[in-house]
Structure 1
């Protein structure tokens, strides 16, 4: 039990800590070139998981963005616009906190994509969804960058490691799989 607590505390400390400037510079440079994929965890939605009465089509039964989370999503979108980052497509999990994050980014129309839905509660779909998300990433050849708004568990399955609320991991696909280019906080 103690090792679990220590591991959790170390993970929280890692997530709370600053990202190296080089990782941020690399991420912005890649996005400026286009052809990359943004894996974004939804903005701040306090808590963990969803309530027991969770229903996908009913936002009142879900963990949702806080006001700080809404502002965080708006600021992230503004950073993209300030830097002239071209976005070709925005896709989102069907969970309300992801949909709202994607909409508040203001980077384009949002396509709901079941492969990006959380499998935190039901790990039986993890492999299928992760494979579908990888295929989506590998298939990206559109103009600009592809933005995928999803959940921590999904991003961890794709690239390993944890991500904080509103954190972005920039990736590209190559023959071997996904290449992590940088991160933005």
Structure 2
């Protein structure tokens, strides 16, 4: 019985080491501009957008709560520890913009292709294609961090990310995207 427990522990350690090696490769690819970090905005309680949603008015939108602001700040700290000084692109939704700003690592640029299509799912395919095209048109060599929404990320990757979760995806971007690492919030 003790032997079995030891074997399981050894297997878990080996798997953990392999995951860390894969994560190291992913972080290096991101740092060198051969990958992109696509993340879901940090925690903003609720689902979708309120009925009175207006793009330019944060009072009409779901916004980050304290947990979300702390998640975003931790992302900024993590990226700094990884020596990543990215170009930071975000959806125009307040919760995504605020996630990017709370990281405190770079000026935030709006990229409409990252906007949520939760209310207009018929645009998913066209918007995902536009995102791929626009990301692939960016100059290589500079790390990019993209802040978007669950529906956008799921359409591109097939993955349903948690709030504040990030995916390091290989460049050039394609559909489905090639996942290098999944980073928990």
TM-score interval, smaller chain: 0.7 to 0.9
Q: Root-mean-square deviation (CA), in Å?
A: 1.9
Query: In structure 1, which of residues 89, 94, 98 is the aligned counterpart of residue 92 of structure 2?
Result: 94
2:70 aligned residue? 71
The 8 Å contact of residues 152 and 162 in structure 1, kept in 2 or not, is answered as: yes
Shift of 1:184: 0.8
Shift of 1:23: 5.3
> CA offsets, 1:42-93, max 9 Å, x none?
0011111111111111111101100110011011111110121231x11110
Cα distance between partner residues in 1 of 2:119 and 2:90: 18
- In structure 2, relative to structure 1, the CA distance for the partners of 1:61 and 1:23 (3 Å cut) is farther
Give the TM-score, by structure 2 length.
0.81
Structure 1 runs not aligned, ≥5 long: 1-19
Give the TM-score, by structure 1 length.
0.81
Cα distance between partner residues in 1 of 2:45 and 2:93: 14
Matched, 1:165 2:178: no
Equivalent residues in 2 for 1:19-38, closer than 5 Å: 21=20, 24-38=23-37
Shift of 1:21: 4.6
> Larger radius of gyration, structure 1 or 2?
2
The 8 Å contact of residues 35 and 146 in structure 1, kept in 2 or not, is answered as: no
Structure 2 runs not aligned, ≥5 long: 1-18
